[in-house]
Amino acid sequence: MTMIHEHDFGTPASKKSEQVSLEIDGKSVTVPADTSIMRAASMAGIDIPKLCSTDRLKAFGSCRLCVIQVDGRNGTPSSCTTPVADGMKVVTQSEKLDRLRKGVMELYLSDHPAECATGDECEVHGVAKKIGITESRYAATSTHLDIAKDESNPYFTFDSTECIVCNRCVRACDEVQGTFALTIENRGFEARVSSSGTSFMESECVSCGACVQACPTGALTEKTLLTIGAPTSSVITTCAYCGVGCSFKAEMRGDKLVRMVPLKDGGANEGHSCVKGRFAYGYATHSDRITKPMIRNAITDPWKEVSWEEAISFAATGLKKIQAESGRNAIGGITSSRCTNEEVFVVQKMVRAAFANNNVDTCARVCHSPTGYGLGQAFGTSAGTQDFESVEHSDVILLIGANPTSAHPVFASRMKKALRKGAQLIVVDPRVIALVRTPGVVAAHHLQLMPGTNVAVINALAHVIVTEGLAKRDFIDARCEEKSFKEWEAFISLPENSPEVLEASSRVPAEEIRKAARLFASAPNGSIYYGLGVTEHSQGSTMVMGIANLAMVTGNIGRKGVGVNPLRGQNNVQGSCDMGSFPHELPGYRHISNADTRKIFNDKWGVTLDSEPGMRIPNMFDAALAGNYRGLYVHGEDIAQSDPNTSHVHAALRAMDMVIVQDLFLNETSKFAHVFLPGTSFLEKDGTFTNAERRINRVRPVMKSATGKSEYEVTCDLSTAMGYPMSYGSGAEIMDEIAATTPTFAGVSFKKLDEVGSLQWPCNEANPDGTPTMHLETFMRGLGQFMRTPYVATDEKATRKFPLLLTTGRVLSQYNVGAQTRRTANNIWHTEDILDLHESDAQLRGVTDGSWVKLSSRVGETIMRARITDEVPAGVVYTTFHFPESGANVITTDFSDWATNCPEYKVTAVEITPSAQGPGAMVETHIDGDVQLASIIRMANQIAANFPATDAPEVKMAHHIVQFWTPVMIERLHKDVDKSLLSPIALKALEVMLVAK
Amino acid sequence: MKIYVPGDSAAISVGADAVAAAIASKVAGSTIIRNGSRGALWLEPMVEVETDKGRVAYGPVSVEDIDSLITADFMHGGAHKLSLGESEKIEWLASQDRVTFKRVGIIDPLSLADYEAHGGLVGLRRAISMSTEAIVEEVKESGVRGRGGAGFPAGIKWKTVADAVSDQKYICCNADEGDSGTFADRMLIEGDPYTLIEGMTIAAIAVGATEGIVYLRSEYPYAIKILQKAIDIAHAFGWLGSSVLGSKHAFELKIRVGAGSYVCGEETAMLESIEGKRGVVRAKPPLPALEGLFGKPTVINNVLTLSTIPAVMADGAAAYKARGVGRSLGTQVFQLAGNTKRGGIVEKPFGISIEEVVNGYGGGTLSGAPIRAVQVGGPLGAYFGIDKFETSLDYESMLAAGGMLGHGGLVVFDDSVDLAQQARFAMSFCALESCGKCTPCRIGSTRGVETIDLIIQGVKVDENKKLLLDLCEVMTDGSLCAMGGLTPMPVKSAMINFPEDFTGEVSRR
């Protein structure tokens, strides 16, 4: 393996299309207008010496090494700041220039260590050598060679003695990351880089690493570079944290990972990174890793290390026994959104082919399943419409229920760049997230709604646009279904959808809604970005459809700068959904009831697939408690910590007879497992991840598997042991099978990915190079469909007993359940989950800042530390669920989205009381009664309420249930439910279903 | 009875406030007007009394002189040992050709009536009646060049901004007068602020700008106060605001106070400072005329440039360019300071010699010792010995002589000056004021000080002189802006014109 070197052209590429021809050192060069002379020269293979310029940053012109001469012009301008001009004749080498460069370098060397700790990493010595000078003639009595290092950051050091004040770090922090944490202190000779007058750790620095990456010397250096030494080889791979999917060069020294360096060529991140991807990879080699399979007969027994063969055989025997006793539907599997497309594909294949049922679901169930449903209904497919770069072309950005600076930091940096360039921002969030006001960014509107009232706000926005005549009729006429628009138009124009009426629910001032609606409707390019604050609600799917409506009514689909963009939580949420992880869908979002689709797989796999949808995750828990679901294969997901109403989840897991967990660590779920199959970290995988912009990125192994096996191999072994032999020689082979069976992936192969870097699906004969922007001329479904979205208040209401609403989210340094980040130095920033509450709520309850509080809901209680803040309004409290000790999900309920059962994590009625001690002390509630029946009744009534009452809702409801529910659940709905508990529409739907039968 | 006691900072610094207070308390029925200074600073505080034959001057007046002045009936022009005669006939003043400074010292600075009575607003009214193209053309035709130091033709700069397409354009007046030995910007603002406002308003109309900013240094508290009052009055009068003098043009004017950085007088650093950032120089291109303040097309002119515009517009380009020599047309407001007998403002057409200013107007040194050197053009200007005194003070001749006109300051030194120390001062001034962005200026200035110190100490003199000259080349040709680029000018001129001071021997004369 060799080192991958990305050439630095010195200044960014020009976006001009006009071409300019000039002569550099006698060589003819043609480049786009506005290209710098430095870049033009570099493109022609002429390297002009430089220190302060790099092509990730705007030209600065401070080092003065890149001086050149231009025929007919005075002086020696810097080539980085001088643009090319037609017919220009440039000289980059002359006696004069040589003298100037040596003179400048002499000055540098007069205040720089003779030898640098990072050796060749320091460009000062490299450039000095290149221009032929090694020493300075100056006596140099004043220097900066005795300044102490700043070692406060866990990942990098700042050694001011090596700093040449080129400002690259400061500019990277400003231009690339947009945090403005760094500055130059003092002026003249005393000008020094400063993390704003304090240590890096104490500063605003978010440790994204952009400054370290930008530094041409050893002043800012990864600590691992100093401890491990210079890398000798590198591999391009993809980060395994959030759905941004950044490309990195994993730089190795022997078999040791020295550092992760963001890839300039990476389509998603274009050379940027965040603290997690850049630095927090230590978990991959953490001593907590389990590398040997383990089994036990009962969850109260100790684990026993066994061979792979024994573990697989033990698991298969257990699962087969269950199927023999309770039927083939009594087992199932959960795929992982952290794993590769190839691993996910194989797991769902095992469930469908070897388990012979459709009981496969994925952790996307609890995050973005409403996106799948909503966008599928409106546009015809479940995916964001744009690439990330698109945001830089937006004029107005509507950000709903997402906190990108914490959860999608690299995308947030792009968004901030667009905002600094003048785009306007509308934030819809109960909390004052950073983007409401942060250096360089002030949101035009913050619609601070009450949790659970998203649909009220989106309807009010659409109401204003339609009733004030701001709808883009041309777009609607050309691109959308006329009938659906007319019906929706009539619906949304109803007074009940006006901001004035809905203000009572949402608490957003009507006038603010009207202004925001006008701003969004008036934008030449308006884009919508959203996160789990949209989906994790009882009306998550309705909200997604409301968002799609808003995009269509304003004509914001089908070009750069617009679109509907779900920000995906996990690295491969998009991919795991694409790969057929949902119980009702085969790969490529094709319903299991479709015989043509089933035939493709039946033929390929040599099986007969079940045509009925299988169980969703919460259905599995309900069925387990009902006694007819007894075996579960959980792949890389910690349901015991991440899923809502922990009491319910734990009770269900305890009720099962064979729980198989495949993971890196003994996670919370493994406490209920009988078989533990060790997994591989992303550094050991060979496959692909698909990010939130549908970009399929390669994941390449940089080290060998710690377990001796790849994860898909283990899945195949289990499948084989279950009686359905599977085996693949490589990840590439699995992708070939995906491509052969899934039309949107038809053109994807590892070979092509290795050639072009990445591909955005659909990638097929019609779009051989992939599809950065979707729905260009027509929607995937043909015409766009407007869906009526009545606002139905959640049943989860603040009460006298539980008067506050809890909403949950993420912090920058931790990730999801924290299994990865808690095993890194990231803990320095966030050591525990904190409960945020407003001062007035705190005072009322005698809670002081930093004290322990007991947080309780109707399903459980826990203790955590309180933080008094005005980031939440009175009546709303907020926390994260990164730490199992605090167990925030003990509090959350199993209320869920009516269409997809995505949990309502974002709204839980709670009460807070001061606590003498902490943390933890979780109290689960006892689960008894017919939980499954109760869920069926709640879900049926919820579905009934969500179809417009005027338009045969019972027919739509009946259709919905048949499409998504398992036969067992439908049967219980007919047979076991006390009909007096069902709403009139639900009752009518039952009749419709009976007639249809 | 009108008595004029200048309220100008220079006059106040030598007791004008106390003099004004004393007169007010002792001379019943007097109306004291705090005019600007006429610029004969060695006569300050110069008290003037309005009499039948015009204004009669006395000076320099101290509080102790008031009683004897009253006894001498100065209120009616009575003779006194401090009598200077009729103000208009004081030779030092009468021999000047005041265009930019024509009202300074004469009018009540904040009286709009006084301003108009002395020809104010004529230029603006004429501009409003013209097409914007015609205004730009007239300014181009006049040959007015930037008075800040660079001497770039104002009309061409205006044309660039006028031709730029943008939703917003700005006029920025650079009043960060940081050069040692210069004070004309301050005196103009304190003595005739409306002229600057009028000039900026004309510029705004000409290029299509609607907002103006005066970047005024914090070291000028009186100027800040007076200009703010003048802006408020102009606003109330309907001159500034949404409709300039009832025309279709809108113009708002604000003051932005500097924070004590010399380099913020460099135009791009000034823009950074106005934007609220560190005062650091920007690389050009882009030119501020195209991407200036907040990235919008911006006219940046010095106080004197903008204050010359009303006269150009009132009297026409032809009248203005009739003065001067070669491509240096019109008048220059010279500021004579340092070791001089008669310091102050000398406004004369370009082409007057150093000799005429320094010995003619200045009358030699204050110390009485022979003149040894004059530094022309501020701290970054060249040092000339008396052998160069016949050099004409215009842009081209100064350049040919290895110097520059700069902002028009001349600082006189007698024969006690050590030019090696002055060269060291130039480098240490640069080290102190460098923004720290580009390497030649940031590190070079400090290395310059160190190297000159070695020369002064006699350490490896020839080697270090060579190193110093090499450094001068790197700074001149390698620096990002004029700060580092011009610092070698005083250094090299001192080395060339006064080589005897760079021998490394302690007793060189």
8 A C-beta contact, residue A607 and residue A353: yes
d(CA B410, CA A3): 62
Choosing from A906, A924, A942, the residue where a domain stops is A924
Instruction: List chain B residues with CB under 8 Å of A123.
Output: none
Chain A closest-CA separation from residue B382 CA (Å): 20
Whether residues A462 and A515 share a domain: the answer is: yes
Which CATH number is A843's domain given?
2.40.40.20
* Partner B contacted by A85 (CB < 8 A): no
Q: Which amino acid, residue B311?
A: A
Q: Quick one: closest CA in B to A67, which residue?
A: B478
DSSP lists the bridge partners of residue A805 as: A876, A909
Same domain, A486 and A582: no
Same domain, A912 and A939: no
Closest CA to A815 of A87, A28, A274: A274
Is A191 an interface residue toward B (CB < 8 Å)?
Answer: yes
Q: Do A648 and A680 fall into the same domain?
A: yes
Q: Grade residue B1 by pLDDT with cuts at 50, 70 and 90.
A: confident
Confidence of residue A920 (pLDDT cuts 50, 70, 90): low
Q: Would residue A661 count as lying in a domain?
A: yes
| Six token digits for residue A638 | 């910690």
Structure tokens belonging to residue B426? 């130039």
Asked if pLDDT for residue A530 goes beyond 90, the answer is yes
CB of A522 closer than 8 Å to CB of A444: no
| Cross-strand pairs, A563 | A527
Confidence of residue A879 (pLDDT cuts 50, 70, 90): very high
Confidence of residue A881 (pLDDT cuts 50, 70, 90): confident
A907 and A979 inside one domain: no
Q: Is A59 close to B283, i.e. CB distance below 8 A?
A: yes
> Does residue A972 fall inside a structural domain?
yes
Query: Which domain range does residue A71 map to?
Result: 19-130
Q: State the total domains in chain A.
A: 6
Domains of chain B (ranges, CATH numbers) = 2-94 (3.40.30.10), 112-321 (3.40.50.11540), 325-414 (3.10.20.600), 419-502 (1.20.1440.230)
Residues of B within 8 A of A183 (CB-CB) are: 278
User: For chain A, how many residues are written?
Assistant: 997
Q: Is the pLDDT of residue A502 over 70?
A: yes
Mean pLDDT confidence for A634-656: 93
Percent pLDDT > 90 in chain A is 92
Residue A181 lies in a domain: no
CB distance B15 to B63 below 8 Å = yes
Give the chain A residue whose CA is nearest to the CA of B295. Answer: A421
Find the angle CA(A192)-CA(A196)-CA(A200) to the nearest 5 degrees. 95
Q: 3-state class of A809 per DSSP?
A: strand
Interface test with A, best of B430, B442, B466, B468 (most A CBs within 10 A): B442
pLDDT tier at A410 (50, 70, 90 boundaries)?
very high
pLDDT digits (tens, 9 = 90+) for B337-355: 999 999 999 999 999 999 9
Of B442, B450, B467, the CB nearest to A165: B442
Peptide bond into A967 cis (omega under 30): no
Digit-coded pLDDT (tens) for B424-436: 999 999 999 999 9
Q: Give the predicted TM-score (pTM) of the model.
A: 0.94
Classify the C-alpha dihedral A725-A729-A731-A735 as positive or negative.
negative
Of A898, A924, A950, the residue at which a domain comes to its end is A924
Position A361 in a domain: yes
- Domain membership of residue A503 (yes or no) is yes
CATH of the domain at A275: 2.20.25.90
**Residue A168 falls inside a structural domain:** no
Do A436 and A560 belong to one domain? yes
DSSP H/E element including B269:
helix B267-274
Report the chain A residue with the minimal C-alpha distance to residue B261: A187
A444-454 as b/e, with b when 16 or more CB fall inside 10 Å? Answer: bbbbbbbbbbb
pLDDT tens column, A336-354: 999 999 999 999 999 999 9
> For B380, which DSSP code?
T
Interface of B with A (CB under 8 A): 261, 263, 278-280, 283-285, 430-447, 450-451, 454, 467, 470-471, 473-474, 477-480
For the stretch A55-99, pLDDT in tens is 999 999 999 999 999 999 999 999 999 999 999 999 999 999 999
**Same domain for A617 and A754?**
yes
Given this model, what pLDDT does residue A680 score? Answer: 97
Q: At what angle do helices A617-626 and A931-946 cross, to 10 degrees?
A: 150
Residue-wise pLDDT tens digits, B40-49: 999 999 999 9
In terms of domains, do A471 and A329 share one? no
Q: Tokens for A579, please give them.
A: 């790969």
Integer CA distances (angstroms), A66 to A79, A122, A127, B43, B447, in order:
6, 18, 11, 54, 21
- Which residue of B lies nearest to A62 if distances are taken between CA atoms? B438
Distance CA A642, CA A882 (A): 9
pLDDT per residue over A443-471, tens digit each?
Answer: 999 999 999 999 999 999 999 999 999 99
* Contacting residues of A for B467, CB less than 8 Å apart: 137-138
Asked if the structure places residue A177 within a domain, the reply is no
Mean pLDDT calculated for residue range B203-231: 98
Q: What is the pLDDT of residues A851-869, one digit of tens each?
A: 999 999 998 899 999 999 9
Is residue A347, in this structure, part of any structural domain at all? yes
| Contact between A167 and A52 (Cβ < 8 Å) | yes
Structure tokens at A281: 């990879």
Strand stretches in A532-638, DSSP E: 563-566, 585-586, 590-591, 631-635
- H/E stretch holding A642: helix A639-642
Is residue A922 over pLDDT 90?
no
Mean pLDDT calculated for residue range B479-504: 96
Query: Which of A870, A889, A924 delimits the end of a domain?
Result: A924
Query: Please, what is the average pLDDT of chain B?
Result: 96
Closest residue in A to B441 (Cα) is A188
Residue A742, pLDDT > 60, answer yes
Indicate if A363 and A404 belong to the same structural domain.
no
Query: Best mutation site among B474, B475, B479 for testing chain A: the one with the most A CBs within 10 Å?
Result: B474
Render pLDDT for A799-809 as a digit per residue (tens, 0 to 9).
999 999 999 99
Q: What is the mean pLDDT of residues A323-343?
A: 96
Q: Shortest Cα distance from B482 to chain A (angstroms)?
A: 13
The per-residue pLDDT for B509 is 43
Q: Packing angle between helix A595-605 and helix A731-741, nearest 10 degrees?
A: 150
Q: What is the pLDDT of residue B506?
A: 65
- Given a cut of 90, is residue A704 above it in pLDDT? yes
* A 99-118: CB under 8 A from B: 99-100, 103-104, 107-108, 110-111
What is the spatial distance between Cα B326 and Cα B394, in angstroms, rounded to a whole number? 9
Percent helix, percent strand, percent coil in chain A, to nearest 5: 35, 15, 45
Q: Which token pair is B186?
A: 């301050």
**Among candidate residues A235, A320, A314, the one with its CA nearest the CA of residue A4:** A235
The interface pTM score, or ipTM, of the predicted complex is 0.95
Same domain? For A638 and A737 the reply is yes
CATH number of the domain bearing residue A688: 3.40.50.740
Residue B179 reports pLDDT greater than 80: yes
Are residues A446 and A421 part of one domain?
yes
Query: Same structural domain for residues A633 and A660?
Result: yes
3-state secondary structure B308-352: HHHHHHHHCHHHHHCCEECCEECEEEEEEEECCCCCEEEEEECCC
